[in-house]
Structure 1
């Protein structure tokens, strides 16, 4: 057994005296983010009348901004938690690609992106508007980006970058939003890394069933339901489905996020750990909370925690994230403060 494999085998049984000690090691941990990099583009405006041309509201533009979305938001969360992060993905040579490059630079994220002629940066443009004294509401979302699979040459270049970057990291996070970065070749390369003992944590919106042989997979409850192809109406049905998916995906652990019901952690040996939702406050906005969860979970593993420790840490980080509006990150000091208040 290799050194990495031996370390990975020890992870589930590691005991951390205090959960608050784990984030203190984050700054020395290196994470590789592989996935779809999304520009979250927001346009803000004011509306007070209906167009004469069609039954639609007229929005007068006030401001706009671009935020790191999709896998880019996972990377931003790793960095906010003080971890070191390298990103491998695809950006177009366009306005949104340039905006994301600037945001990565500001955040201190190392970017190792590829691009090619005709490839467009994955972009979600949201128009939010309201009256003079009302709260802005999202009126429309316009999506742009790659249609169909990436060119073979680009896919091979991505795999090569991942294999090179993985030599010098403590954990890998895969953020798959279906935009083409994580194809068959990439999944095969990631399986190899997991088999070698490097923790590979996967969050896939649409294709989790194809990520067999990884270390950890993180579906939410609707995604778990989709994986097993049946409704999950009771806790017992969720438990049965979790064990079934662990066997099917051949992963070491499965972390199922359940919103107000917290999380459930399953492992390959049949173990189950329920993690109740943290705190009593109602969620303000759940946008991007899953990105915070997997970032904190991966850093917890990288810092030497077991799956249970990492899940409890991620649960607290996620609870902090949903108290913020829009796509947000959680800073390490925020997490530390919350953990220390639990003593």
Structure 2
């Protein structure tokens, strides 16, 4: 089960070859557009691409982007338990990409739209009920918190009950990791780890101290820290540390949504019976593959298997 902020990643593509007379900006002539599953929806898409079965729980507005996401969930064969309301706007990130006739398109601008402030109380309670219902058929839970209000106090309490009952609950929270104490696994990147502990992470020793402090502070069984080109670090509640080097030698093309792929593959591995260490190493390979793709992307089961075979 995935619970989190369901985001419409909206891409506008165009061509540019001159500067506006009105202001020092490039003029983009529109060519095409597309919507992709983003945020928590991208986590669900990655689980499905890896051949996992997934139910997505979240909130959608009664608007064009909400309708587009519903169609994409259906096309991807992802079960959707979304609470809807005309009083909210579907979380949307619009990216404008453009280039010259013979050049690669580059992202020029991003415009974000969505809910400002907490969701209405009725929706908050409804989402918590959906979490409890959908979890009955789940082998693991992924929490994707982008700060859009879906993962509220009521939902966090429901998640703690699930974790206490032994269901693995894996959390990726952009801004509020400290609010997720008592769950199974937390996945910060290094800046998020610094924000959580108040410690700068500049050296290996800094990383070890901050990671161990985070495990104590969160009361989690494992902490997976993503470190970009330096790989990952896995900490456990017994004091163990596994420093995992980055997979492959290629430079990243686009890191958009890489954390989604990592938490998706990690949680799916746990659901299939892997240890924390095995799950982390699979997630490390999956993350290295997705950053080679432009924009919001997924990694398929076949791609992951091929990458694992090539390491032998």
Range class of TM-score, shorter chain: over 0.9
Q: Secondary structure at the match of 2:282?
A: helix
Q: CA RMSD in A?
A: 0.9
Any residues of structure 2 matched to 1:147-162 within 5 Å, and which? 147-162=116-131
Matched with 1:175 is 144
Matched with 2:255 is 286
Residue 74 (structure 1) aligned with residue 33 (structure 2): no
Distance 2:248 2:18 in 1: 42
Distance 1:40 1:113 in 2: 17
Q: 1:188 aligns with which of 157, 161, 171?
A: 157
Which 10-residue stretch deviates more, 86-95 or 279-288?
279-288
Q: 2:299 aligns with which of 330, 339, 342?
A: 330
> Size of the alignment, in residue pairs?
312
Residue 106 (structure 1) aligned with residue 75 (structure 2): yes
Unpaired runs of 5+ residues, structure 2, are: none
Q: Following TM superposition, by how much is the alpha carbon of 1:130 offset from its aligned partner in structure 2, in angstroms?
A: 1.7
Contact 2:199 2:206 in 1 (8 A): no
Q: Secondary structure at the match of 2:84?
A: coil
Residue 253 (structure 1) aligned with residue 215 (structure 2): no
Q: Following TM superposition, by how much is the alpha carbon of 1:301 offset from its aligned partner in structure 2, in angstroms?
A: 0.5
Distance 1:186 1:221 in 2: 26
Unpaired runs of 5+ residues, structure 1, are: 1-31
Distance 1:59 1:275 in 2: 43
Distance 2:243 2:101 in 1: 46
- What are the Cα deviations for residues 4-40 of structure 1, in whole angstroms up to 9, with x where unaligned? xxxxxxxxxxxxxxxxxxxxxxxxxxxx000000000
Distance 1:226 1:153 in 2: 32
Distance 2:49 2:90 in 1: 24
Q: Following TM superposition, by how much is the alpha carbon of 1:285 offset from its aligned partner in structure 2, in angstroms?
A: 1.4
Distance 2:26 2:196 in 1: 40
Distance 2:22 2:284 in 1: 49
Distance 1:86 1:245 in 2: 29
Distance 2:18 2:249 in 1: 40
Matched with 1:136 is 105
Q: Which has the higher contact order (CA 8 A, sep 6+)?
A: 1
Q: Following TM superposition, by how much is the alpha carbon of 1:131 offset from its aligned partner in structure 2, in angstroms?
A: 1.9
